[in-house]
Amino acid sequence: MTRRGKMVFVTLDDGSGSVDVAVYNELYDQCRSMLREDELLVVQARVSRDDYSGGFRASADQILDLAGARQMFARALRLSLNGDACQRQLRERLDTWRARSDQPGCLVEIAYRNKGAECLLRLPETWRVQVDDIAIGALREWLDTSRVQVVYA
């Protein structure tokens, strides 16, 4: 118990080292279901020097699973197409994952290349999509794994 309420310590380990991160009650209640052994997480934390131990201490501000981190940090979904691309098929596939007006979504970029030219086209804001594992998998199945890329800032 602290002045802010309950606090738990979560040990993060990436195989090369580990760190104990303090997670306060409000955040713990929000992300309790994500805190499992061997779960991939992205943690935004404040890190400060710990004069008592001589090391560092960390206090979590935000904890995200991979899907949440992708939604928050992805700048664009980039699809590489060539002169054989079918506009109707692209529209149908993107429409399946189109973000609603109350969702942030991710911009869509088309890296287009044919024999004579290449360019990068950014689709309008109205074509933002939800980039989840199912959407990425379906697009990679349609185009090829190397032609579907999530671009981060």
Residue-wise pLDDT for 75-113, tens only, equals: 999 999 986 667 888 889 899 999 887 878 899 999 998
Which of 39, 41, 45 lies closest to 23 in space, CA to CA?
Answer: 45
Summarised one tens digit per residue, pLDDT across range 39-76 is 899 999 999 998 888 888 899 999 999 888 988 899 99
Which of 113, 40, 103, 102 lies closest to 78 in space, CA to CA?
Answer: 113
What is the structure's pLDDT at 22?
A: 94
Q: Could you tell me where the beta strands, DSSP code E, fall in the chain?
A: 7-13, 18-24, 41-49, 56-65, 74-82, 107-113, 118-122, 148-152
Q: How many CA atoms lie within 13 A of 9 on its CB side?
A: 7
- Of 1-10, 26-35, 98-107, the range with the highest mean pLDDT is 26-35
Q: Which two tokens stand for residue 128?
A: 């933002």
Conformational region of residue 30, where left means phi above 0, alpha means psi within -120 to 50, and beta covers everything else: alpha
